[in-house]
Homo-oligomer: A and B are copies of this chain.
Amino acid sequence: MRILSSQVAEHVGETVCVAGWLHRVRALKSVTFAVVRDRAGLVQVVAADAELVKRLGELPEETVVEVEGTATANPQAPGGVEITSPVLRELSDPALTPPFDIYRPVVTAALPTVLDNAAVTLRHPRLRAPFEISAASVSGFRGALEGLGFTEIHTPKVVSSATESGANVFKLDWFGRNAYLAQSPQFYKQTMVGVFERVFEVGPVFRAEPHDTARHLAQYTSLDAELGFVTDHRDVMAVVRDAVAGMVAAIAERAPAAVELLKVELPEVPAEIPSIHFADAQELLARETDEDPRGEPDLAPAHERWLCDWAVREHGSQFLFVTGYPMAKRPFYTHPDPERPEFSNSFDLLFRGLELVTGGQRLHRHSDYLAALAARGESPEPYAGYLAAFAHGMPPHGGFALGLERFVARMTGADNIRWTTLFPRDLHRLTP
């Protein structure tokens, strides 16, 4: 009966069986040390038997083995325990040598090598760790929203028209008809507010992003939520706060080894995240920095960074909501600020210098949708299925979206989103 490497210490003096990958073999004069890696960590195996020493000398690292032996306390061994008098059985063919040494604590390969050889390189504990944080994050997201009465939905990833932005969509042959990969579940999640009031979805979205940057992917995992019966965007921001707090708490609880290995500094999520209006943020930047961004329709990356530093100084928070972005830069379904209709009831959540979440209140009256589309010179026809929801009665609502890979990149300090994506898809990369 196999036990995990982390359980060996509980069985000192007993015969135990572990199984995993031959992480490292080191031959000394009289004995050979073999380190076996499984999903829980590493355990040292000590071979003194001449025949086994010889076999171990011939077995390539990454070969899969099962080892039965005696769990023996040894303060010198990693974890204070090792397996002695081992009997070893190979479970795979002898393994091909990885493109870099998986057993070294640091990753000596560059990103393209890591991605080209993901099947083996992601076995490196440092390269695997972001995905443990990713899994914990999603679990925390779902747990927080389920606790708030949200229902999980699954919506189509293939749609009939290239709506919303028009550009950057992937075109598809759908039984001889043109179709497109969905850029977001936006229309569907709004529609489903009419059915469930509060919905969330975790799923892939597709952007035919022609730029090759460290922050963009052609497929990523979007964490989407939408809720009805809001007063305005601030009700949505309260849910964002709880979702992000749930994600951070889940990382701490479910992925402590990854947090430690990557030295992740998990942020405090304030009970109420500080917020600043877009116009006030511009005033602040004009007053406190050398630049005057007033009149610009959006914040520059440098301004987002400055505002994040300001939020830490002023509010002791690594998170900052910027609200009220100008309507001009937001999609047609955005709800204006009733008091100042050139600004919107929208927000971005900034974290450590970058935008992490985008959201806001949406229009909910059918007549407002027709007017908004007309104002942009767009026909309502391609939006028929979406507009039907509003024609049939929809409450004031809003929602948000958070890119999972970007969230994990921010948490782990990764300099490229591809470090936090299992098999990235982009302009150049369609394999493995």
A contact set with B: CB distance below 8 Å? 2, 19-22, 38-39, 60, 62-64, 91-93, 95-96, 98, 117-120, 122-123, 128, 131-132, 134-135, 138-139, 142, 146, 149, 151-160, 170-175, 177, 179, 181, 188, 191-192, 194-198, 202-204, 206, 208, 210, 218-219, 221, 229, 364-367, 384-386, 388-396, 404, 422-423, 425, 427, 430-432
Contact = CB atoms under 8 A, between A and B. Distances in A.
B430 A188 contact: no
Contact of A194 (B123, B134, B198, B208): B123
Contacts of A181: 158, 172
Contact of A195 (B92, B122, B158, B395): B122
A261 B102 CA distance: 55
A175 B206 contact: no
Given A118-B191, A158-B206, 16 more contacts: A20-B395, A21-B194, A21-B393, A91-B229, A95-B391, A96-B391, A119-B392, A122-B195, A131-B153, A132-B151, A139-B142, A153-B422, A157-B219, A158-B218, A172-B173, A188-B422
Nearest to A22: B393
A160 B198 contact: no
Contact of A92 (B98, B170, B364): B364
B427 A175 contact: yes
Contacts of A192: 122, 422
A128 B204 CA distance: 24
A92 B364 CA distance: 7
A430 B170 contact: no
A171 B21 CA distance: 38
A204 B203 contact: yes
A95 B393 contact: yes
Contacts of A96: 366, 388, 391-393
25 contacts: A19-B395, A20-B395, A60-B393, A64-B393, A91-B229, A91-B396, A92-B395, A96-B391, A119-B388, A131-B153, A135-B153, A155-B422, A155-B423, A156-B219, A157-B219, A158-B206, A159-B430, A170-B174, A172-B173, A174-B218, A175-B210, A202-B202, A384-B431, A385-B431, A388-B432
Given A171-B173, A172-B170, A430-B160, A395 B95 contact: no
Contact of A64 (B63, B159, B395, B423): B395
Nearest to A95: B393
Q: Chain copies in the assembly?
A: 2
A150 to B, nearest CB: 9
A384 B432 CA distance: 8
A175 to B, nearest CB: 6
A123 B195 contact: yes
Contacts of A2: 229
Contacts of A188: 422-423
Contacts of A21: 194, 393
A404 B91 CA distance: 34
Could you say which of A95, A154, A194 has the most chain B C-beta atoms within 10 Å of its C-beta? A154
A175 B219 CA distance: 13
A148 B135 CA distance: 14
A98 B389 CA distance: 10
Nearest to A124: B195
A134 B197 CA distance: 16
A7 to B, nearest CB: 12
A402 to B, nearest CB: 14
Given A395-B92, A430-B177, A204 B120 contact: no
A177 B396 CA distance: 43
Nearest to A94: B393
B63 A393 contact: yes
Contacts of A92: 364-366, 390, 393-395
